[in-house]
Structure formats: structure tokens, C-alpha cells
A and B are shown apart, each in its own frame.
Chain A
Amino acid sequence: MITTPGLHAYLVLAALVFAVGLFGVLTRRNAIGILLGIELMLNAVNINLVAFARFQADLAGLVFTLFVISITVAEVGVGLAIVIAIFRVRRTVDADHLNLLKG
């Protein structure tokens, strides 16, 4: 039974993508892999915001999505710079080995 996608369809799709991204964040070894999972989760949030903006006819969701996208770009820039800095010092970006701050 396939019907015209309503708000629920978009929200469930976003929830699924969010859960997949969360799984990636929790299980990836590589620090860049963890960043990829975070990208997926932020993407799912964007789908939610745009879906609500469309179905509520509210502009704020669209503007917030723009802000989220810009902040994500900044986050990726700084995150990858940190990953590269860590790689220079430790020669690895395996998150299991990055335990310098562990007591």
C-alpha cells in the first residue's frame, strides 16, 4: 500500500537515517568515519526541519536548515583539521588509540 508521502513518511525517513548515522558514530574505528556518521545525523535533522517547514508553511525551518548547513561546514573544517593534527603527532586516526586524555 503506497500512498502520497505525508509528514510522517519524511519524519520516519529522517529517523531511520539518524539511527544509521548514530550506529556509524558508535561503531566506526576511524575518526573520519565517525565524522561521516555525524554528517548523516545532521542531514537527517535537516530533512526534519525542511519537512516541518513545508507542512507548517513556516519559514523558520528553511532558515534554520541554512544555518545548520553552514555550521556543519565549519564543524567539518575544524574537525578534519584536528584529525590531521592528531595524525601528524600519533601517526594514526584510530579512535581506540587516541586515549591521551585517559586518566
Chain B
Amino acid sequence: MTLATVVFWAVALALLASSVGVVLTPNLFHAVLYLAAALVATAIVFLLLDAAFLFAVQLLLYAGGVVTVLVFAIMLTERLIGERLSQTNRHVVNGAVVAAAVFIGVAGFIVGSPGMPAPAGADRTADIARALVGPFAATFEVLGVLLVAALLGAIYFARAED
């Protein structure tokens, strides 16, 4: 059992535990903290998969940016202290059944499919850079347009009425 194996199982457990925490914690602020833990665990999974660049992007954009924005949104729309009503709606049983059915369906396909041997790992950061300005250049440009549109849309929705 190598170090990578131990790290994988530890990270997988942490990821699952924090994911369950995200959906079950009554306090929404704590749920965001669990989400931050889950995102960091995902970043470590990326590292185990030899995607060091995505590890950095995940930490910067998700664990840094998205979590901060979520915390601000919760502070704007919610009293952080004080008792809350039940955070889950009346569909808990239905939701659990649907989620379990989706998992069983997907896992059935996965287990039934043949596995693949892992090719030798290598750092692909330079290849990602070349692909972004090569075959994926047009997609990359469109993504810039999308980000500008999202920025303008967010400002439009959240601006003060006056």
C-alpha cells in the first residue's frame, strides 16, 4: 500500500463526510464551511490525478473566490445567529430515494464497465496551455464573452433600485 493509496482513501472519506455535512447541516454558514472543505478535498484528488494546475485553479477560484462570495450572500440574506426553521423541506424521503437511485444506476454502469490500466503520469500543465491557445482557442474566447455577460448580468440583478 503506497502513500498515494493511503492519501486517496483518506481524502475520499473527507470529501464524502464534508459533502454530507453540506447537505445536512441546519446552519447554512456551517454548510458553506463544509463546502470549502469538500472543495479542498477535491483539489487534493486532482493532485492525486497528476493535475497540479487544476489543483491550483480549484484552490484559487473555488475555495478562495466562490466560498467568499457565498459567505457574503449568506450574511446579506440571513441572520447568522438565531434559531432557524427546519432547513429541509418535506421531500427528504423522496430526495433520498431519488439520489440513491441515481447513485445505484451510475455505479451499476461503472462496476459493469471494464477498468483501464493507468498510463504513466506526467505533469500536463504546459500541454494545457498549448491546447488553450491551439485547438480550444475559439472556446476560450467564447468563455471570455460568457464571463463578461455574467458580470453584467450580476451587476444588473443586484444593483440598487433608485
Q: Residues 65-93 of chain A: 1 if any B CB is under 8 Å from the residue's CB, otherwise 0?
A: 11101111111111011111101100001
Q: Judge whether A50 and B54 touch: CB under 8 Å.
A: yes
Q: Judge whether B146 and A80 touch: CB under 8 Å.
A: no
Q: Judge whether A74 and B1 touch: CB under 8 Å.
A: no
Instruction: Say whether chain A's binding surface is mostly helix, strand, loop, or mixed.
Output: helix
Range class of the A interface residue count: 35 or more
Q: How far is the CA of A21 from the CA of B73 in the complex (A)?
A: 20
- For B100, the chain A residues whose CB sits under 8 A away are 19
Q: Judge whether A36 and B118 touch: CB under 8 Å.
A: no
Q: How many residues of B contact A (CB 8 A)?
A: 85
Closest to A55 in B: B116
Q: Judge whether B1 and A2 touch: CB under 8 Å.
A: yes
Q: Judge whether B16 and A13 touch: CB under 8 Å.
A: yes
- For B51, the chain A residues whose CB sits under 8 A away are 50, 53-54, 62, 65
Q: Judge whether B106 and A2 touch: CB under 8 Å.
A: no
B80 close to A (CB within 8 Å): no
How many Å from the CB of B19 to the closest CB on chain A?
A: 4
Given A2-B1, A20-B19, A33-B28, CB of A43 within 8 Å of CB of B39: yes
Q: How far is the CA of A66 from the CA of B137 in the complex (A)?
A: 13
- For B98, the chain A residues whose CB sits under 8 A away are 22-23, 26
Instruction: Please list 11 pairs of residues, one from A and one from B, whose beta carbons are closer than 8 Å in the complex, sorted by A's number.
Output: A6-B115, A13-B16, A17-B19, A27-B88, A28-B23, A33-B23, A36-B31, A39-B62, A50-B49, A77-B154, A84-B76
